[in-house]
Each structure stands twice: as structure tokens, then as C-alpha cells.
């Protein structure tokens, strides 16, 4: 493949060849280091400058050169490792002429190893005085001078490796995300949950309302879906007696991309036998405040133009009460479908054919008038039965189900149920979904007869919940785009 190299790239390739002629591999070998930039700086930051005269502390570090100031026979440069940057002082008197000549060929972006004495400059900067210099990797491409801001945003996501080199904020998010996930795992494990894995490939479309990705299994000669949710396999495990299970895994929805949605994303679903909606609310509030306290260290977050306070107790309100607060319309009252459709007409709400039921209309009013107003953490419960095919009906009012969604900043963060464990009711709900599909709802669920059979063996009463992990990480890292918290987001083809 023919490639056009810039002048800088040609020079760097020549330097790599010269290193090879000196008997070294320009792309390096194993290097033993004993220290990281940040821990050295933290350890010595409060030691006075003059005390270093009587100290003989050494450190061996490795990282990428991000700055060089060459000054004849002595120079300064900084290297970045995964913890941060540290300054190096290098002199021909300390390492000899041959190694200093090698250093002089170094470019920004090269990866090097340094062994030296810890010191402090007169300006008070913790620095390593280089005693041994090891070339590790020649960077054949120069780093960009600037690689952030709106103009480069697409390139940052496409070439995340450059973004992580150049942008400290991106590195912070990249390291914060696994810490948050580890905190969630510890939180769940400490409550007696078992982390499990369930299939990504499936033959049925169940567990959520979404369009799937379709793939093909050659040996069986069947089309399969990439899962859109984790729900039904996890509930089978409740039937099997595992009682409290959760999974953190990728799910896939063949839908649009925007700042809050990526076609592949990370979900956590958890199911707890003998619990219910209230138990899921309590667990959720406690999990969020635990992450805020233990990982980030603060309770207030600036997210999408709002100041969000995670201090509890969080607001709990039913969907119909929230609609009444905003519009004065009371959907708790019995009304005919014609009356509900007339209200839609009066409020400029378009109703598709498969939405012509009071439950769907309540949801349309919620989406238009309420959703964006739920800024502080709010548990919104009491959804209409029509939009919740896997949820137990409310014993006091069977028009509604025992379900809640957590809203923060006007966006949904979690979806929870008192789980439906009646196999007869479940089969009826699946059949209703097929009718909706016939009316044009291409997100309706398949009938999973094996799951119905599993319920016939008896599933304990249970609470269940699904969390969008990417959105949760967006809140805790105060990022407005899902692409900032996914290392390799799906991108349009160039």
C-alpha cells in the first residue's frame, strides 16, 4: 500500500534506522521500572530543596516524552506514564557522550526508560536526575499540537489512542470508569449478589423494546440476534434457586446514535428474590450515593447544564401524579379511549395506531410534559400495564404496574420492576405484544415459551432492575456525550 509521508515522518523513519545501526531495536524490549510519576511527586513534594543534597533516593520510570528543552550539554524533558507526568534532567556529565547523543535524537512521542536520582529544582519541581537513559520506542508519527475541542471531536473518538496521549481529561474518564464499575461490583457482592454471565447470541427478541442486530450462525444455518437486554436468562436463574444475581454486560440495539445513545452499550441488570419495587429503590439510592462518596468524593454534580444533588432521600412520585402536577389532567380517573384521544388532540399529541390505548396515551403525556422536568433524582413509578409487558400488576389498581424509572437531569438512568412471576399472565402479555407487532410496533417482543415454562416451575416474588452503566458514568464524570465514556464508540464510516 502506497503511503505519502510528511517530512517529519521521513526524518523519524531515518532516525529509527540509525538506532538500528547503533545495534539497538528502535521498538524496544522489556524494561523493569519500580516507580510511577505521580507516586514520586506525592512522596517528595513536601521535602525541602536543600534536603535532597543528603539524600540518595533513586527511581526507575518509563513513559512517553511529551516535552523537550535541549540546552547543549544538559537538557530537561518530561515523560508521561499512566499516572501523570514527571520532569527529567539529563546531562552529558551524568550519562556520557554516547548516551547523550542517543538522547539528542529523541522526539516528542518517543517512549523511553530513565533510572536516576530524585531531586528538586530551584523552582520546587520534583525531578529525576537521569543516570541511565534507555531508548524504548521510536514514534514514527509526530503528535498533534492540539487534539481537543469541538473541531477535533470526531477525530478524538476515532483515534482514541491519540486522545488519551494528549488529553488529561480523557485519561481521567478512562481510568474513572473501571473504578466506578468495580465499586458497583463490590456493592452488589457485599449484598450477597452473585455476578453471572448469560448469552449474547439469542434466537428470540425479549427483555426490552428495541430493534435488534441480526447475525447468522453458519453451522445451524439460523439467524440470531445480539441481545437487546439481559433480563429473561437472569430470571431463569431465580427459578433455579440462585436468588440474587446480577450481570454487567454489553447489549446491542440497532438504533440511532446521539449524545446519549450508542448501538452497543453496557447494561447492568440485577434480580433479587423476595424483594420488590421498594427494595430496588432503596438499593439504587444507596448504590449511587456509595459511588459518589467512595469513588468520586462529592455529592453534587454539574451535568448537562444542571446541578444535580445526590443526597437522599430522593423524590418518589407516580406517573399519573407527575402528569397532574404539570397539566392538571388526572389520569387516575376512569375515562374512555375516546375521551383520552380527545385530550391528545387538544394537546397536539400524535397517536400512532398501536398506541391507541389509555396506557400508551398516559405515556405520551408523560414524555411530552414531565420527563424533561425531572432534574433532581426522582423515582417515577406506576406505569400503565400496556407499556410494561414483563411487570407485575399493581394489586390495588391493575391498570398500572409496579415499575419505576429513575430520572436524573431529565434522562432515564434505571428501570425497575416488581417482577411478573405469574406464567398465565406472562403468556397473555407476550400475546398482546404480538398483536402490537401486527399493528406496526417493530419493537414488540417475541413469545419466549421456554421462559413461560420456567415460570410454571415457580419463580419467587422478586425485584429486578436495569441500569445504563454508560449514562451512570457520564453523570459521575460530568460528561455530556456517551462517546466520552466509551473508549471506542461506534462511528460513522469515513
pLDDT band per the 50, 70, 90 thresholds, residue 400: very high
Cα 415 to the center of its chain, rounded Å:
17
pLDDT of amino acid 149: 58
CA distances from 364 to 249, 330, 341, 360, 384 (A): 30, 14, 11, 6, 11
Within 13 Å, how many C-alpha atoms sit on residue 119's CB side? Answer: 15
Report whether 63 contacts 44 (CB < 8 A): no
Q: What sign does the CA torsion over 102, 31, 87, 117 have?
A: negative
Q: Which three cell numbers stand for residue 289?
A: 450515593
- Across the strands, what pairs with 381? 318, 404
Q: What's the whole-model pTM score?
A: 0.92
pLDDT at 253 over 60: yes
Q: Is the pLDDT assigned to residue 263 strictly greater than 60? A: yes
Q: How confident is the model at residue 153 (pLDDT cuts 50, 70, 90)?
A: confident
Do residues 471 and 413 lie in contact, with contact meaning Cβ atoms separated by under 8 Å? yes
**Cis peptide before 313, with omega less than 30 degrees from 0?**
yes
Could you report the per-residue pLDDT of 329-370, keeping only the tens digit for each?
999 999 999 999 999 999 999 999 989 999 999 999 999 999
Question: What is the chain's mean pLDDT, rounded?
Answer: 94
Selection from 127, 135, 144 nearest residue 106 by Cα: 135
Residue 274 has pLDDT above 70, yes or no: yes
Average pLDDT over residues 374-384: 97
- The string over 17-55, giving b where at least 16 C-beta atoms fall within 10 Å of a residue's C-beta and e elsewhere, is eebeeeebebebeeeeeebbbeebbeebeeeeeeebeee
| Per-residue confidence band for 429, with pLDDT thresholds at 50, 70 and 90 | confident
- Max Cα-Cα span within the chain: 92
> What span, in angstroms and rounded, lies between the C-alpha atoms of 358 and 334?
10
Q: Does the pLDDT of residue 151 top 70, yes or no? A: no
- C-alpha 117/C-alpha 312 separation (Å) is 50
**Torsions phi, psi for 219 (to 5 deg):** -60, -45
CA distance 347 to 356: 16
Residue ranges per structural domain of the chain: 7-137, 165-314+376-484
Cα–Cα distances in angstroms (integers) from residue 195 to residues 177, 178, 280, 419, in the given order: 18, 16, 17, 19
Confidence of residue 494 (pLDDT cuts 50, 70, 90): confident
Place of cell 398482546: 432
Confidence of residue 268 (pLDDT cuts 50, 70, 90): very high
**Nearest in space to 64 (alpha carbons), one of 10, 150, 137:** 137
322 pLDDT higher than 80? yes
* Residue 13: per-residue pLDDT: 97
pLDDT at res. 2: 81
Taking 70 as the threshold, does the pLDDT of residue 273 lie above it? yes
pLDDT at 204: 87
Once rounded to an integer, what is the mean pLDDT over residues 172-198?
A: 98
Distance of alpha carbon 214 from alpha carbon 43, whole angstroms: 54
Residue 313 CB contacts under 8 Å (≥ 6 apart), including other chains: 285
Residues comprising the chain, all counted? 494
**Residue pLDDT, tens place only, 40-78:** 999 999 999 999 989 999 999 999 999 999 888 999 999
Give residue 392's pLDDT: 85
Residue 150 has pLDDT above 60, yes or no: no
Q: Alpha-carbon distance 288 to 294, whole Å?
A: 10
Contacts of 286 (CB under 8 A, 6+ apart): 187
- Whether residue 435 has pLDDT greater than 90: no
* Phi, psi for 322 (deg, rounded to 5): -65, -40
Nearest to 199 by CA among 220, 221, 223, 230: 230
**Range 223-227 average pLDDT:** 96
Output the 3-class SS for the chain.
CCCCCCHHHHHHHHHHHHHHHCCCCCCCCCCCCCCCHHHHHHHHCCCCHHHHHHCCCEEEEEEEEEEEEEECCEEEEEEEECCEEEEEEEEHHHHCHHHHHHHHCCCCCCEEEEEEEEEECCCCCEEEEEEEEEEEECCCCCCCCCCCCHHHHHHHHHCHHHHHHHCHHHHHHHHHHHHHHHHHHHHHHHCCCEECCCCCEECCCCCCCCCCCEEEECCCCEEEEECCCCHHHHHHHHHCCCCEEEEEEEEECCCCCECCECCEEEEEEEEEECCCHHHHHHHHHHHHHHHHHHHHCCCEEEECCEEEECCCCCEEEEHHHHHHHHHCCCCCCCCCHHHHHHHHHHCCCCCCHHHCCHHHHHHHHHHHHCHHHCCCCEEEEEEEHHHCCCECECCCCCCEEEEEEEEECCEEEEEEEEECCCHHHHHHHHHHHHHHHHCCCCCCCCCCHHHHHHHHCCCCCEEEEEEEHHHHHHHHCCCCCHHHCCCCCCCCCC
Contacts of 260 (CB under 8 A, 6+ apart): 411, 471, 482
Domain 165-314+376-484 has CATH 3.40.50.300: no
How far is residue 26's CA from residue 161's CA, in Å, rounded to a whole number?
20
437: pLDDT strictly greater than 90: no
What's the CA gap between 129 and 91, in Å, rounded? Answer: 8
Residue 148 reports pLDDT greater than 70: no
> Mean per-residue pLDDT for 399-412?
95
Q: According to the model, what pLDDT value does residue 391 have?
A: 80
> In CATH terms, is domain 7-137 a member of 3.10.180.10?
no
Interval 21-43 mean pLDDT: 96
Predicted confidence (pLDDT) per residue in 87-109, tens digit: 999 999 999 999 999 999 999 99
Summarize the confidence of residues 369-381 as an average pLDDT.
Answer: 97
% of the chain exceeding 70 in pLDDT: 99
- Note whether 453 and 436 are within 8 A (CB): no
- pLDDT at position 206, please? 81
Amino acid at each position: 500500500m502506497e503511503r505519502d509521508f510528511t517530512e517529519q515522518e521521513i526524518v523519524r523513519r531515518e532516525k529509527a534506522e540509525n538506532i538500528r545501526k547503533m545495534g539497538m531495536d528502535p521498538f524496544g524490549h522489556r524494561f523493569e521500572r519500580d516507580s510511577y510519576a505521580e507516586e514520586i511527586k506525592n512522596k517528595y513534594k513536601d521535602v525541602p530543596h536543600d534536603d535532597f543534597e543528603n539524600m540518595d533516593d533513586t527511581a526507575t520510570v518509563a513513559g512517553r516524552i511529551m516535552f523537550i528543552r535541549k540546552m547543549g550539554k544538559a537538557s530537561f524533558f518530561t515523560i508521561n506514564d499512566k499516572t501523570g507526568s514527571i520532569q527529567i534532567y539529563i546531562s552529558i556529565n551524568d550519562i556520557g557522550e554516547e548516551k547523550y547523543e542517543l538522547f539528542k535524537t529523541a522526539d516528542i512521542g518517543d517512549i523511553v526508560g530513565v533510572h536516576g536520582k530524585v531531586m528538586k529544582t530551584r523552582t520546587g519541581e520534583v525531578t529525576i536526575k537521569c543516570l541511565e537513559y534507555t531508548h524504548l520506542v521510536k514514534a514514527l508519527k509526530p503528535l498533534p499540537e492540539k487534539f481537543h475541542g469541538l473541531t477535533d471531536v470526531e477525530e478524538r473518538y476515532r483515534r482514541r489512542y491519540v486522545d488519551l496521549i494528549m488529553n488529561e481529561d480523557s485519561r481521567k474518564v478512562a481510568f474513572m470508569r473501571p473504578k466506578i464499575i468495580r465499586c458497583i461490583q463490590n456493592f452488589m457482592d457485599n449484598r450477597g449478589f452473585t455476578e453471572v454471565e448469560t448469552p449474547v447470541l439469542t434466537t428470540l427478541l425479549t427483555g426490552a423494546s428495541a430493534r435488534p442486530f441480526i447475525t447468522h450462525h453458519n453451522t445451524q444455518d439460523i439467524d440470531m440476534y445480539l441481545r437487546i437486554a439481559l433480563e429473561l436468562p437472569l430470571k431463569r436463574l431465580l427459578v433455579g434457586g440462585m436468588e440474587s444475581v446480577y450481570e454487567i454486560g454489553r447489549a446491542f440495539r440497532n438504533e440511532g446514535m446521539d449524545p446519549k445513545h450508542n448501538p452497543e452499550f453496557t447494561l447492568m441488570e440485577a434480580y433479587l428474590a423476595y424483594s420488590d419495587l421498594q427494595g430496588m429503590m432503596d438499593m439504587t439510592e444507596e448504590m449511587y450515593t456509595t459511588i459518589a462518596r467512595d469513588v468520586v468524593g462529592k455529592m453534587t454534580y454539574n451535568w448537562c447544564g444542571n446541578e444535580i444533588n445526590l443526597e437522599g432521600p430522593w423524590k418518589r412520585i407516580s406517573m399519573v401524579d407527575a402528569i397532574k402536577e404539570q397539566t392538571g389532567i388526572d389520569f387516575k380517573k376512569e375515562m374512555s379511549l375516546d375521551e383520552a384521544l380527545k385530550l391528545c388532540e387538544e394537546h397536539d399529541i400524535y397517536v400512532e395506531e398501536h398506541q391507541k390505548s389509555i396506557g400508551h396515551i398516559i405515556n405520551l403525556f408523560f414524555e411530552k410534559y414531565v420527563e424533561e422536568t425531572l432534574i433532581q433524582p426522582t423515582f417515577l413509578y406506576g406505569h400503565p400495564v400496556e407499556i410494561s409487558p414483563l411487570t407485575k400488576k399493581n394489586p390495588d389498581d391493575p391498570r398500572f404496574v409496579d415499575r419505576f424509572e429513575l430520572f436524573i437531569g431529565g434522562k432515564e438512568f434505571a428501570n425497575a420492576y416488581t417482577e411478573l412471576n405469574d406464567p398465565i399472565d406472562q403468556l397473555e402479555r407476550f400475546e398482546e405484544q404480538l398483536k402490537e407487532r401486527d399493528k406496526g410496533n417493530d419493537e414488540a417482543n417475541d413469545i419466549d415459551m421456554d421462559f413461560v415454562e420456567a415460570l410454571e416451575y415457580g419463580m419467587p416474588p422478586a425485584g429486578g432492575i436495569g441500569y445504563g452503566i454508560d449514562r451512570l458514568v457520564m453523570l459521575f464524570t460530568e460528561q455530556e456525550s456517551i462517546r466520552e465514556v466509551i473508549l471506542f464508540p461506534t462511528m460513522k464510516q469515513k
